[in-house]
Amino acid sequence: MQMYNPEVLGVSLRHIQNRQERRVCEVMTAELADDEDFCGCTLCIEDVYACAMSRLRAHYLHRVSIVLKRPPPNDLEIREEVCAAIEVVRLRPNHASVT
């Protein structure tokens, strides 16, 4: 899959990232580290990430910060959504179950 490079009128927007991307990765790493029941294949990890990111409201950061009225999700919200996503994928993985 080719990476999407956002660009408008020649201005690259690659450096503007959704702050939740890094935080979700950190929480997933911590939550899945000791989870021996979780499949852990590439597809399942991608699904947890996509599910958690879809559940969380986006919060984009820019070097010259703009003030957003809505606060970003806090650590507890991120952890709750990542754990919920893990359970969704654990119960209904997108691949045939391995026995």
Residues found near Zn ion in the complex (CB under 5 A): 39, 41, 44
Minimum Å distance from CB 82 to Zn ion?
Answer: 16
Taking the least distance from each CB to Zn ion, the nearer of 65 and 99 is: 99
- Cα 48 from Cα 55, distance rounded (Å): 11
Minimum Å distance from CB 41 to Zn ion?
Answer: 3
Taking the least distance from each CB to Zn ion, the nearer of 46 and 75 is: 46
* Residue in the structure block whose two tokens are 């179950």: 97
Minimum Å distance from CB 74 to Zn ion?
Answer: 29
Taking the least distance from each CB to Zn ion, the nearer of 23 and 44 is: 44
Phi, psi of 16, deg, nearest 5: -90, 110
3-state secondary structure of 57: coil
Going from the C-alpha of 45 to that of each of 4, 9, 38, the distances in angstroms are 20, 35, 9
